[in-house]
Amino acid sequence: MNDLIKKLVEAYGPSGFEDGMRDLIRPEIEAYADEISVDAMGNLIALKKGDGSGLKVMIAAHMDEIGVMVTHVTKKGFLRFTNIGGVYPHTLLGGRVQFSDGTIGVIGCERLTNRSKVHPLSKHYIDVGATSREDCPIGVGDAAGFLRPFTTQGSRLISKAMDDRIGCAIGIETMKRLGSSPHDVYFVFSVQEEVGTRGAIVSANGIDPDVGIALDVTMTGDTPESMAMAVSLGKGPAIKVKDAGMIAHVGLVREMKTRAKEAGIPYQLEVLTGGSTDARSIQIANGGSAAGCLSIPCRYVHSPSEMVDMDDVENSVKLLVEILSKPLDL
């Protein structure tokens, strides 16, 4: 899977600018889908039909990544910017970004008089090598994603945009491995999750699933002086119980735990005190659905070097296949 993961995580695709990501994913899934469509928001939807005895299940992984958008170009050609999604100022200085046309910029900031503090986003800028506003190749409204190569350290995978290209990779690999299923499974590669799960709102309302499972990353509690959280890298996918936006369907959580135990797949339970996923939008679409989330433990979320473990990725695929290949008793 590493070649697929590398291709996805290194690609450009901030929220609202996911066209290139959709073009990357579609060829990977065409041979395994009975139907493929793109809705008005730009969500890529692949239906894998069941035998007619099961439910309508939606699996959602978002294609977009956090990024920045230019708000102003100074007379000397420096770019002021705003955030697209959850961009943290302390991760910015010295980083690089890439625009859709390939232009690369370096993030700088105004002089720090107190080096124990961090400037807000408004005091940062992007330097693309321009000397004036007139010769700057980038303009107001142009969006950029962070630039950082994919690398591995043993079983650890490190890159920008693991959130949530790793979920997309798991969705793709699940489609490839899933044989017969009682369920009609809609694999949705959604847009604009980082700015309010907007794509999932539209796709869930269109599909109207009985059951929804989001594939997304979650934070860990296994680094020095980290937040208290019972999730670690390498100990299995995390079955979400609750986050700031939803309480997962109790029956679905039970079913996911049962399938993991039966197959001997390690798993963890996730209670996240901040943040949410596409599962929230799926849960409350139309008349509602039984929704939950299979989370991939990830260190350094919303930084240019997010880290996951390949064992967790592989076990996420195995667990999802187990869940989708059998009846769901909720």
Q: How far is CA 251 from CA 289, 291, 300, 329, in A?
A: 12, 9, 31, 8
CA distances (Å), origin 277, targets 175, 291, 309: 21, 11, 20
**Residue of 18, 193, 194, 255 marked catalytic:** 193
The helix or strand, by DSSP H or E, that contains position 211, with its residue range, turns out to be strand 211-218
Cα-trace Rg, the chain: 20
Does residue 193 have an active-site annotation?
yes
Q: Are 243 and 276 in contact (CB under 8 A)?
A: yes
Backbone φ and ψ for 266, nearest 5 degrees, come out as -65, 145
Alpha carbon 140 to its chain centroid, in Å, reads 26
Give 201's contacts (C-beta < 8 A, 6+ positions apart): 281, 285
| Alpha-carbon span 26 to 46, nearest angstrom | 9
* Burial status of residue 222 (CB atoms within 10 A of its CB: 0-12, 13-18, 19 or more): middle
Amino acid at 67: G
Of 273, 15, 41, 24, which is closest to residue 164 (Cα–Cα)? 15
Angle CA 42–43–49, to nearest 5: 140
CA dist., res. 280 & res. 103, Å (int): 36
Residues involved in catalysis: 193
